[in-house]
Structure 1
């Protein structure tokens, strides 16, 4: 074994003293090329080739020590790779990012807590409305309809043609009043236009499987569409039909509950009776209106379902039938002349 240790290294003094070729002390600047620690003419490695004849390189001459700076036992030990130094100012920028992010998170948390506390301390107005609505349902009273507009009038001047879009008379209020569950189906011809909705919910007091229907018909005289006299005759014929005064009528003459004039258009008649529905007598309300040369007919009927367990004699119209019928008449009248 060499007196310089097991690795036959050149003599070194870690603190910078002693013979030539020693490692300069920490913190001192490295000598420039060609200084006494290396001979540029011989190709020697600074710090290792100096002091040897002819600049001869020995085992470690001109090569990197195998274990990094300082050799075995040096900083980091075998295989250690020194970390890259941070870029100037990078540490401060990262610190500011962390601080700003933390502040944002704290503000968001405080905002969420304030919102939760505020909402929890207030009584939801929806709940109050729901309780009021429930109280209304508990009275088992029919849906309140607005007061009929007896001042309703056609939009234009006579003579009138039948409306091209009769289902426009089925407004949102009409859908609500009659519990309609579908849009109406229209049928338009020269002398008549019609809108029908046959899948309405049955009003309160009927079996849940029963259903209702609503039909609106506009008509002008076939022979003379502009004739007010002929339209008046058609109106009178309509009253005879719904009161069962003719041999071909499907209305039951003995089942009339109401039959009176109402204030709409030039003439109007409101009738509540029963209708022969495939051998069953079902309740029906009819409103007939005449304005100049045009007649309006609205029919509201409650019908049994084949799944219904009740008798057709138990079928009933709602208590506010007159109000919702007159409202529907006003909507239908307002569409004339548009």
Structure 2
């Protein structure tokens, strides 16, 4: 067996059948062809990076060429206009003869102004004695300086306050100081908006600084009282001198306008001259 031809298997081989081809050759799988690398994306990234670098360099060059050339005219032009306008108003007290101020009223320096370092020293000893002032208290912030005294005149107790303030948005801004002055005026005269029973009795425009006014009012908080306020704006700074007096022994306000006019103008004049 295994040595003859025919349909029987031969030694060491596979069965052979008539009319059949030899055992087919072994199938060899073909390795799939690797896709060709495409470098287009890499070139796009490189080109984009170059464009960004060029743009950054161009922006830096433009900013460098503009720096220092536009800033000076923008800052100088409005300041010159504002100072010229306010300086003309500041000179007005030289011609004032109707308010019994006793001479020229105005600061010795020039704008822009800053609050004094010691607001409790702006009033003279003689003026403080007329108010019966004692026990001063001061408060200093970045844009304001305030001093308050307890007062006693003819058995009537009160509080005297002097405050200097520059605008929050820019300490040298004249326009912002004008807005602050208008706000302070509204607060001192707004009878309907006041949370207390406020009545403006006398209002008098003054010639101190760039603009100023004296307001005498009655105000009832716990008991009947009076509140006298002098508001002054000198260029970029606002000054407020306020005297509040209460009467705990009567149902009537304790003061008249004649009682406060002269002393309040004197205190306001000294506060302005202390700039």
Query: Over residues 116-169 of structure 1, what are the superposed CA-to-partner deviations in whole Å (9 max), with x where a residue is unaligned?
Result: xxxxxxxxxxxxxxxxxxxxxxxxxxxxxx942452211211111111110111
Q: Is the 8 A contact 1:195 1:217 kept in 2?
A: yes
1:311 matched to 2:250? The reply is yes
CA positional deviation for 1:177: 2.2
Aligned residues: 177
Larger radius of gyration: 1
Task: State the secondary structure of the residue aligned to 1:184.
Answer: strand
What's 1:268 paired with? 212
Q: Is the 8 A contact 1:152 1:264 kept in 2?
A: yes
What's 1:38 paired with? none
Q: Is the 8 A contact 2:174 2:235 kept in 1?
A: yes
What's 1:12 paired with? none
Identify unmatched segments of 5+ residues in structure 2: 1-98
Kindly tell me: are residues 158 and 314 of structure 1, through their superposed partners in 2, closer, same or farther at Cα, counting changes over 3 Å?
closer
Question: Quick one: which of 115, 128, 142 aligns to 1:190?
Answer: 142
Q: Aligned ranges for residues 74-85 of structure 1 at < 5 Å?
A: none
Q: Aligned ranges for residues 129-208 of structure 1 at < 5 Å?
A: 147-149=100-102, 151-180=104-133, 182-198=134-150, 200-203=151-154, 208=155
1:277 matched to 2:214? The reply is no
CA positional deviation for 1:318: 6.9
Q: Is the 8 A contact 2:136 2:147 kept in 1?
A: yes
Give the TM-score, by structure 2 length: 0.59
Question: Which 4+ runs in 1 deviate beyond 4 A?
Answer: 250-253
CA positional deviation for 1:317: 4.5
Question: Quick one: which of 217, 226, 231 aligns to 2:163?
Answer: 217
Task: State the secondary structure of the residue aligned to 2:255.
Answer: coil
What's 1:230 paired with? 176
More strand by proportion, 1 or 2?
2
Query: Over residues 144-198 of structure 1, what are the superposed CA-to-partner deviations in whole Å (9 max), with x where a residue is unaligned?
Result: xx94245221121111111111011121121132122x14211111111101002
Identify unmatched segments of 5+ residues in structure 1: 1-145
Give the TM-score, by structure 1 length: 0.49
